[in-house]
Homo-oligomer: A and B are copies of this chain.
């Protein structure tokens, strides 16, 4: 069966997540990762493939461990509550005191070299999934009479996602949790009254 791995792969992945979240995909070197994880380069490549593979695995872990609130938020009884829970939950993730500020999905890559385009596109694709999930929830709400018929679910989803992305950049720039909740307050003021 061979020699056993001397490090905890799951723990190492959590550390990689922290490094990528702070420095972005291109801003993180393999040496940054191995130093933080306390393992050697061959161990990293043996356990996680190449840099792209590792980043995608950290993305999966991030969604599973930090963005899991979104799934529950969408199940709130009303659309308004679902949107508000999404925004509030995201603010708390963006300003988690135990992690670098901001969002892995935004800090990871906004603009990058041609070599990293696949990662940038992966992040865009995942954001589209999230926006579509919200849009579907709002379409259901409109069918149920929970959202006025003249409100466009696609427009609403795009707006909420835009607010989220803006708060993510703001968080990465040093905005406090309290400040971002104030932004969420203002965002909710757009919600239709009665």
Contacts and interface: CB of A to CB of B under 8 A. Distances in A.
Contact of A172 (B28, B111, B175, B180): B111
Interface stretch (A36-44, A54-62, A71-79, A153-161): A153-161
Number of copies of chain A assembled together = 2
Which secondary structure characterizes the binding site on chain A? helix
Nearest to A25: B111
Interface residues of A, number: 50
Contacts of A165: 165-166, 169-170
A150 interface: no
Contacts of A27: 26, 111-113, 116
Nearest to A188: B190
Contacts of A100: 111
A103 B28 CA distance: 23
A161 B180 CA distance: 12
Contact of A163 (B111, B124, B162): B162
A29 B100 CA distance: 27
